[in-house]
Amino acid sequence: MTHALLVIDVQNDFCPGGALAVPGGDEIVAHINAMMGDFDAVILTQDWHPAGHSSFSTSHPGKNHYDMTEMPYGPQVLWPDHCVQGTQGAAFHPELRTDGDLIIRKGFRSAIDSYSAFFENDQSTPTGLEGYLRTRGIDKLTLVGLATDFCVHFSAVDAARLGFDVTVRMEACRAIDLDGSLAAAETAMQKAGVTLA
């Protein structure tokens, strides 16, 4: 069994001072760096939005940050502009080790958001990560990163649905916790067969 660490979206915009800061988002960096040597592979994901992305509230006149809207693929939270391609906000936290095996960029299609490391939010457009893991013979995944209740949650559930053995190390994650989203995410991950450690 080959075991990979999947580091989700530890980027400046999700850390204190960023456009979509997760409380305590920077507190996990040293812990993640220390874990990296324990795995056969390290894969990092990077939120990578074009300017004017359809999930940004600024793309919807009259809407506010965190309002819900309907997209062709279903309900979508409208976010502050964040992780715009090539900006300092989209860069990895400066103290995060980025010498992993692969960086997967997601959310680069302007009409569809992407929380999961495996699929866009339509639940069908793949990122290519599954194929990479299969060809590497990786079947066990440990997830860490930001935010527990969005990108970590959706990545973990998709990984479990695809048949991977999945653990989320909660001490190396932080949550936004929007209207009870953390509790809902924990329930959904456990229902999908994800181990919360």
- The residues assigned a catalytic role are 9, 106, 151
- Nearby residues of 190 by Cβ (< 8 Å), 6 or more positions away: 196
Helix, strand, coil content of the chain in percent (nearest 5): 30, 30, 45
CA distance 172 to 192: 20
In whole angstroms, how far apart are CA 59 and each of 55, 56, 83, 105, 167?
A: 7, 6, 15, 21, 36
H helical segments located in the chain: 29-35, 129-136, 153-161, 181-191
